[in-house]
């Protein structure tokens, strides 16, 4: 999961404090699948973030990050979408915060989904986007994929295993089988 949220914490949680807290309790995250829908609500495209990675070349990831102290989940979703897709994305938040998935990333090596830095509990949402997106960080780009493209190895190979699970959960939840041509 992206480190970008860290700087938003400002003076009240230094890197040292954050490291200490991460050793003591699970962190609450939101993982977001931004989608474009047609007027019937059918999925047209899914957004992933692209970033250069010294080790592996290109990497793709989901929008998302930490929920801050006393930050409602809805505000965390809006903040992370604005941070990653820009202020003109116009996300349509759903009427309920019941997630379509919850994924656990443990810091114990050998875990099904592993995060070396922390134990994170990610609450996952599919969020329709009505406006224009624009990468707000130099290091990042945004790419849109059809649901068929999301299943291609060249796309999934560049996503971390934990994010790939959430993407597949979203695709099947939206009715897009990996066997569909």
* Separation CA 155–CA 142 (nearest Å): 13
Contact assessment for residue 119 and residue 105, using Cβ atoms and an 8 Å cutoff: yes
Q: Which is nearer to its own copies, 13 or 50 (CB)?
A: 13
Report the site for its own copies in 25-54 (rule: CB under 8 A).
25-28, 35, 37, 39-43
63 forms part of the interface with its own copies (CB under 8 A): no
Specify the residue, 58 or 111, whose C-beta has the smaller distance to its own copies.
111
Cα distance between residue 80 and residue 84, in whole Å? 6
- Tokens 């040292």 -> residue: 16
In the list 5, 62, 126, 150, the residue contacting its own copies (rule: CB under 8 A) is: 126
Q: Which residues of 66-90 are buried (b: 16+ CB within 10 A; e: fewer)?
A: bbbeeeeeeebbebbbebbbbeebe
CB of 138 to its own copies, least distance (A): 28
Q: Tell me if 13 contacts its own copies by CB under 8 A.
A: yes
Q: What is the dihedral of CA 51, 82, 101, 115, to 10 degrees?
A: 40
Choosing from 58, 88, 112, 152, the residue that interacts with its own copies (CB under 8 A) is: 112
Pick between residue 42 and residue 137 the one whose CB is nearest to its own copies.
42
SS3 state of residue 150? helix
Contact between 10 and its own copies per CB under 8 A? no
From residue 79 to residue 108, what is the string marking binding to its own copies with x (rule CB under 8 A)?
Answer: -------------xxxxxxxxxxxxx-xxx
User: CB-wise, 41 or 54, nearer to its own copies?
Assistant: 41
Q: Does residue 155 contact residue 60 with C-beta atoms inside 8 Å? A: yes
Burial bucket for residue 116 (CB in 10 Å: 0-12, 13-18, 19+): exposed
Q: What is the contact surface with its own copies in residues (CB under 8 A)? A: 12-13, 17, 21, 23-28, 35, 37, 39-43, 66-75, 78, 92-104, 106-108, 112, 119, 121, 123, 126, 128, 156, 161, 164-165, 168-169, 171-175, 177-180
């Amino acid at each position: 999961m992206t480190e970008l949220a860290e700087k938003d914490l400002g003076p009240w949680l230094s890197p040292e404090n954050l490291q200490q807290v991460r050793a003591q309790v699970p962190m609450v995250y939101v993982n977001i699948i931004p989608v474009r829908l047609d007027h019937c609500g059918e999925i047209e495209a899914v957004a992933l973030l692209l970033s250069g990675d010294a080790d592996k070349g290109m990497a793709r990831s989901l929008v998302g990050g930490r929920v801050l102290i006393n930050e409602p989940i809805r505000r965390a979703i809006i903040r992370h979408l604005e941070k990653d897709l820009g202020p003109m994305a116009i996300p349509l938040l759903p009427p309920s915060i019941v997630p379509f998935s919850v994924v656990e990333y443990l810091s114990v090596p050998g875990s099904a989904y592993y995060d070396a830095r922390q134990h994170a509990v990610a609450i996952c949402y599919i969020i329709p986007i009505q406006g224009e997106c624009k990468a707000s960080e130099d290091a990042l780009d945004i790419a849109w994929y059809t649901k068929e493209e999301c299943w291609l190895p060249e796309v999934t190979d560049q996503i971390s295993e934990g994010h790939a699970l959430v993407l597949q959960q979203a695709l099947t939840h939206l009715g897009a089988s990996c066997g569909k041509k």
